[in-house]
Structure 1
Amino acid sequence: MVGGSAIRGSRVGAGPMGEAERGDAAPRLYISFFCSNGHETRPAFAADAVIPEEWDCPRCGLPTNRDAENPPPPPKITPYKTHLAYVKERRSDDEAKAILAEALDSLRNRRAAGEVIY
């Protein structure tokens, strides 16, 4: 053996990684979850784990449950409200007109006094 080494071409920790070295795999359960788009998801759980009632679909993001005939409905999404929509909920039209008139009077008085307003 010319310049040979018993561990040539290998590294520390290298070798077959079979069940003998790693130990036995934990027993697993594959549970089916269904979303309202008809997708089926089968995540793996440990045999002694508590199985959740709902799961998120990895394809569409909708909630899922274990009942294929009656999947949960998609969540209701409220549309984005602008600042003006929130103001209109708090103020009536008459109050808005009064506030606008007050702001315009203040602006006109400042301009009349020579204040530079951009």
Structure 2
Amino acid sequence: MSSGSAIRGSRIGSSPMRPDERSEPAPRREVIYHCSTGHTSRILFAAEASAPETWDCPRCGQPAGLDGQNPPGRLRSEPYKSHLAYVKERRSDEDAAKILEEALAKVRQRRGE
């Protein structure tokens, strides 16, 4: 005996049982990118859109290009820098010595030395 439910046996959000003539997908083209680690990525773009020269590889994150024989080089990853390393880039040793002397003088003045 049937329960009378029209959607029995299909899940919510499922696609239509047969393709509808009004839902034809937009024309696309496939562009192949190659990264320096040997990965190949196939990216779909709209047919009328221009493909960029480089694309980030979805597997390793390195830049990938259209030329399989000459892929773009690897990105250099910058090492972590501490606050002190950034300060040392901006200040010379002489400036640091002057600032230290000024700070020590203020501390000594507060302490009454």
TM-score (norm 2): 0.73
Deviations 1:36-62 (A, max 9, x none): 110111112222222221111111111
Mark the structure with the bigger radius of gyration.
Answer: 1
Tell me: CA distance 1:46–1:81, structure 2 relative to 1, closer, same or farther (3 Å).
same
RMSD: 2.7
Matched AA of 1:62: Q
Separation of aligned partners in 2, 1:95 and 1:24: 69
The 2-side partners of 1:35 and 1:15 are apart by 35
Instruction: Structure 2: state its 5+ residue gaps.
Output: 8-13
Listed one character per residue, the Cα deviations across residues 15-46 of structure 1 (whole Å, up to 9, x for unaligned) are: 94423354333332222111111011111222
Ranges in structure 1 where 5+ consecutive residues have no aligned partner: 114-118
Find the aligned partners of 2:81 and 2:22 in 1 and give their Cα distance. 55
Q: 2:44: which partner in 1?
A: 44
The number of residue pairs the alignment matches comes to 107
TM-score by length of 1: 0.71
Q: 1:90 to 1:26 in 2, by over 3 A?
A: closer
